[in-house]
A and B are shown apart, each in its own frame.
Chain A
Amino acid sequence: GENVEQHPSTLSVQEGDSAVIKCTYSDSASNYFPWYKQELGKRPQLIIDIRSNVGEKKDQRIAVTLNKTAKHFSLHITETQPEDSAVYFCAASIRGSGYSTLTFGKGTMLLVSP
C-alpha cells in the first residue's frame, strides 16, 4: 500500500519567515495530494491540493509543488503569521472514477512566534 513520509515533525519560525514542509510517497499510481491544517482538538481543514498533472499550485501565501519523478511534494507558506500555528498533514491518494482512501503523513507541528 501507499506510504507517506513527512518532514520535519516540528518546525519553529519567526513571524514573517517562510516555512517548508516536505513529503514523499511510495505508490507511483497516486495522483492526488492534499494538505490539511489541524488545530488542536478540531477537524482537519483542507488548505490546498494538487493533482499529478500539475507541478505547482499557489493560493495567496500557500503553495504546493509536486515532483512526480522523485515522488515528493512540498508545502510552502510565505510571510507566516501566528495564526498559521497548527499541525499540518500531507496526504496521498489515487483519484479516479470511484472513491479513494487518503494515506496521511505523520504531521508537522508548525509554531510561528510573534
Chain B
Amino acid sequence: GAVVSQHPSWVICKSGTSVKIECRSLDFQATTMFWYRQFPKQSLMLMATSNEGSKATYEQGVEKDKFLINHASLTLSTLTVTSAHPEDSSFYICSASGGVGTGELFFGEGSRLTVL
C-alpha cells in the first residue's frame, strides 16, 4: 500500500513555542490530507482537511490561527502548533487518500507532542 511518513515522531517543547509537524506521501500524490488529534485512550478527532494549493478546512472548535496548516505540494502537508500550551499535548496523526475514488486512507506514524 501507499506510504505516509510523518516527522517528528515525538517532540517536547516549552510552553509558548511553536512546533511544526510534517506529513509526506512518499509514493503517491495526495491532493488532500487530513490531520487528526488523539488524546490518551480516546478516538481520533478530525482537526482539519488540508487541500493542496488552497486553504485548509477546519472542524468546528479547532482554532485555525493556532493550528496552521500548509499544503504547498502534492506530497507534503505541515501542521504548525503555534504558542503551544500543555493542553495541546497530544498525539497528532495525518492521513492521506490514495487517490480520488479509492477506498483506503493511509496514516502517518503519528507525532507525540508534549508541551512543558
* A interface residues (Cβ-Cβ under 8 A, vs B): 32, 34, 41-46, 49, 51, 89, 95-99, 101-107, 109
B25 on the A face (CB < 8 A): no
Number of A-B contacts (CB under 8 A): 52
19 contacting pairs across A/B (C-beta < 8 A) = A32-B103, A41-B110, A42-B109, A43-B93, A43-B107, A43-B108, A43-B110, A44-B93, A44-B107, A46-B104, A51-B103, A89-B43, A89-B44, A97-B100, A99-B49, A101-B34, A102-B105, A104-B43, A104-B44
Q: How many residues of B contact A (CB 8 A)?
A: 23
**Residues from chain A with Cβ under 8 Å of B109 in the complex:** 42-43
- A98 lies within 8 A of B100 (CB): yes
CB of A7 to closest CB in B, whole Å: 13
Alpha-carbon distance between A41 and B49 when the two chains are bound, in angstroms: 23
Is there contact, CB below 8 Å, between A99 and B42? no
Most buried by A among B43, B45, B49, B103: B43
What chain A residues lie within 8 Å of B45 (beta carbons)? 104
- Residue of A whose beta carbon sits closest to that of B9: A41
Contact residues, B25-47 vs A (CB, 8 A): 31-32, 34, 41-46
What would 5 more interface pairs be, CB under 8 Å, given A89-B43, A99-B32? A95-B101, A97-B100, A102-B46, A104-B45, A105-B43
Q: Does B112 contact A (CB under 8 A)?
A: yes
Q: Are A106 and B42 in contact (CB under 8 A)?
A: yes
Task: Point out the residue from A42, A44, A49, A97 that lies within 8 Å of B103, measured CB to CB.
Answer: A49
| CB-defined contacts of B43 to chain A, threshold 8 Å | 89, 104-107
